[in-house]
Amino acid sequence: MGHSRAYWGGISAFVVAIPLTVWVGNSAPPTQNTNVATSSCTATLSGSQYPEMVPSYLMWEAFFGDAVSSGASLLRSIGLTEGEANTTRTAGSAALARASAVRNGPQAAFDVDTEFAASEAVLAARDELILQFPDALFQTIDSSAKERGKQRVYTLSVPGHRTNMNGTIKCVLTISGREHAQLIPEAEMWQDHFEVYAHAATIALAGATQYPATHVQAIQQMRLPVPAAELTKFIDIARDTTSSIERARANGATPSEIAAVVLHGRSALLRSVSHRTWLTILRDVAKTREGITYSFPPSI
């Protein structure tokens, strides 16, 4: 599984993208015979084999569906109170209704990416839970969603193409974050984004304990026009998350464990800044996502 990342160069060149192709996995890329005729196919992804690659909205949409259809039993079984279960089910039910309305509404007949809008509705409900519940409680819900997700095989919203790979015909899907943003794994884009700002901050600090005012002002002018205090908080979380990723890697963490570290940093950021600042950060993250080209594991 490989993906290209758009890295933003240097302290003063936040808008310069430098593409870098990275192959993710323990083996070399499989050989493809490009002379074999290809046809469209349904791309799938195993939640048990590749949990860190599952697009978040697919996992949460399935979990919300289970939570709503099971009454309160599923959520009560993982330790939620009746009130907490009702809050979760209400958020999930509303998200499912919004996603369905988008997919089946009149706009679906036009050239509009309704799947992205549906994914946004689902993830907005997930973020509501992050904001409403203490971290430990949300982690309980999140862990349940992930465990149930490992039992699923997900159908991706974009068709792949059949390709002869080492003598076996498989369904291959490579997507661009600009065209199919909903399928880029959240942990991938947030890790890239955190690392860019963490690296720039480390250079700017040069051993000091406070960010130079010129560094903060440059980011405000070119990338994130948000209050300095909230920008500093964002940079702190980016650095802390990046350091946690490095420690996790050094300790032999799995890709799914590293993804969990990244998304925990995202949750901490969501809780730490105003809604207006959060929306500005999301727009900035979207620029990182647009620069990613992601290849999912071939499926049969």
Strand intervals (E) in the chain: 2-8, 17-23, 32-33, 40-41, 44-46, 153-155, 160-165, 168-172, 174-176, 293-295
Q: 171: helix, coil or strand?
A: strand
- Least Cα distance to 141 among 199, 208, 201, 81 occurs for 81
Boundaries of every domain in the chain: 2-28+173-295, 56-155
What pLDDT score was predicted for residue 109?
56
- Residues of the chain falling short of pLDDT 70: 1-38, 108-112
Which residue has tokens 């083996």?
27
Q: How many C-beta atoms surround the C-beta of residue 28 within 10 A?
A: 7
pLDDT in tens, 147-199: 999 999 999 999 999 999 888 999 999 999 999 999 999 999 999 999 999 99
Question: What pLDDT sits at residue 4?
Answer: 52
pTM of the predicted model as reported, rounded to 2 decimal places? 0.86
pLDDT at res. 3: 57
Residue carrying the six token digits 């594991």: 297
Position 126: which residue type? R
pLDDT for 110: 58
The pLDDT tens digits for 102-137 are: 999 877 655 557 999 999 999 999 999 999 999 999
